Amino acid sequence: MYTNNAYLNNSTIDRKDKSKPLVVTMCGTYKLYTHPKLPTWRPRGRVDFQLIFIAAGKAHFHFDNDEEETIVHAGHMVLYRPREPQKYEYYAKDQVEVYWVHFTGNNVTNLLRSYGLTNDKRVFHCGSGSEYQYLFRAMIKELQMCQDSYPEMLEMYLRQIFIKLQRHFKSSITTVNSHAAEEIDKAISYFSEHYNEPISIDDYAEQNHVSASWFIRNFRLYAGITPKQFILQKRIYNAEALLQNTQYNINEIAQIVGYDNPLYFSRIFQKAKGLSPSEYRKNI
């Protein structure tokens, strides 16, 4: 399991802070590779707010009725409010990657409402673009480094996430209907299972009786990235897992995630992660 977390004043205790409208108290990320299960159960909830972003895979949540499971897929967020019971699990078999942030303040409810995060929004689609991951990672680094004016920087990053959500909500209302959402959900499931096989977007669209331009446009509106970018993210994510947790050599990993040419795979990996596969493995 990979984890990278940061806590205000190095404290994991949830807190209320009414000194400012918005205060980030802790944030982090998890990736499960071999650790089989990571459960969370807070029957009385917390005194702060929590926003969870499912960046890859899926997570299992239990709202209201503990026995009833809600599966939340990548490209969605979950918002917990104060004193709301929290029960959820992450499983390695789901190849899950999540980012989370806890926050408080003296005007959070009104602030969330102004960005479209009304009380009826608990689980919502946000898209799978890398911009969210960048903002969460920036918050983690900022809270770990605690440089000058870091509370203001943390608030700025979190507000950027809220603004991106607000824009996504407004665009989704007018551009993605239920038929499109169903088609894109089906495509995401297919690409997630067959990411390491040769996939022609044009052929996939034709087989599902939609035009390629319609499919690409609606996929991007729904997921925040193009189909090709989605497949690439799946390949890179799984290559990371193999580099961290197996003894496969680079050539073998390239083959496993769908690249016949290991040199091309290395170039693609370095462009995505800033390190070659061998350098990435050395830095683990």
What is the tens place of the pLDDT at every residue in 86-105? 999 999 888 889 999 999 99
Structure tokens at 124: 């919502």
For 110, the 3-state DSSP assignment is helix
Angle 185-191-193 from CA coordinates, rounded to 5°:
105
Fill in the amino acid letter for 117: L
pLDDT tens figures, 45-66: 999 999 999 998 889 999 876 6
Residue 109: its pLDDT value, please?
A: 92
Query: What structural domains and CATH numbers belong to the chain?
Result: 2-174 (2.60.120.280), 178-282 (1.10.10.60)
Q: What is the pLDDT of residue 176?
A: 52
Round to whole Å and give the CA distance between 48 and 59.
21
pLDDT in tens, 168-205: 887 764 555 667 878 888 898 899 889 999 999 999 99
Question: What is the arithmetic mean of pLDDT over 119-136?
Answer: 85
The answer to whether residue 277 scores a pLDDT higher than 80 is yes
Rounded Cα gap, residues 244 and 17, in angstroms? 39
